[in-house]
Amino acid sequence: MGEGKRGKALEFDGKDDCVSLGNADVYDQDFTITAWIRPRSFPARLGTIVAKDRNGVQDHNFRFYVAPGGKLGFWISDAMRNNVWPFETPAGSVSAGQWAFVAVTRAGKMHTLYINGKRVGAKSSDAVIRHCNMLDLRVGGCYRPGSGDDHAGDSVFDGMIDEVHFYTRALSDRELADLE
């Protein structure tokens, strides 16, 4: 734990940490996922903010993440392994060492990324999160394939994550700006 944006925050070392929220339901309808993040560095691959995902299990998964160069991204797959990929902001969208309020929404077929209350990317897809998989919902990392340790993280976050929230509807631009 570290000093967060509001109180204490989860602190991740970028090596193998993650927090499991159990096999929580993630809705197959419109949604919003929000979090405050403060990356210490950016990974060579992806740094997971929130995921219900495992490399090699590609149907009914999602991952909200930071990518090399300070990109913010969201990946989702449906039962047919159709992916919204890549769906990332330009490099430099998120800065190391600074707090950023990040969000992803789904309204109908439109998925939209936000940083500090502003739209920074959008992509349309028919993919729906229905999570038939039995993977845990995780903050800071997804499952590490072949590790033999169901608690080890893969594509882990290096830095702090605070105030993760899930909503069962797409919040409006105004509502997201007000949360920031």
Pick 10 or 29 by higher pLDDT.
Answer: 10
What pLDDT, on the 0 to 100 scale, is given for residue 54? 65
Most confident of 73-82, 136-145, 152-161: 152-161
Q: Is the backbone of residue 45 left (phi > 0), alpha (psi -120 to 50) or beta?
A: alpha
Q: What are the pLDDT digits (tens) for 87-114?
A: 899 999 999 999 999 999 989 888 899 9
pLDDT tens for 65-94 read 999 999 999 987 766 666 666 689 999 999
DSSP 179: H
- Higher pLDDT pick, 54 / 50: 50
Which pLDDT belongs to residue 162? Answer: 96
Parse the chain into domains and list their residue ranges.
Answer: 2-172
What percent of the chain is modeled with pLDDT above 70? Answer: 78
Q: What percent of the chain has pLDDT over 90?
A: 43
The answer to whether the CB of 42 falls within 8 A of the CB of 66 is yes
Q: Model confidence at 133, in pLDDT bands (50, 70, 90)?
A: low
Side chain identity at residue 154, one-letter code: D
According to CATH, the topology of domain 2-172 is Jelly Rolls (2.60.120)
What are the DSSP E strand ranges found in 40-168?
47-54, 57-67, 71-76, 100-107, 110-115, 118-124, 138-139, 142-143, 153-154, 158-167
Q: What is the pLDDT of residues 108-131, one digit of tens each?
A: 888 899 999 999 999 887 766 665
Helix (H), strand (E) at residue 20: strand 19-20
Supply the mean pLDDT for the chain. 83
Number of alpha helices (DSSP H) and beta strands (DSSP E) in the chain: 1, 14
The residue type of 64 is: F
Residue 152 confidence class, pLDDT cut points 50, 70, 90: very low
The encoded tokens of residue 53 equal 């995902």
35-56 mean pLDDT? 86
Give mean pLDDT, residues 42-59. Answer: 78
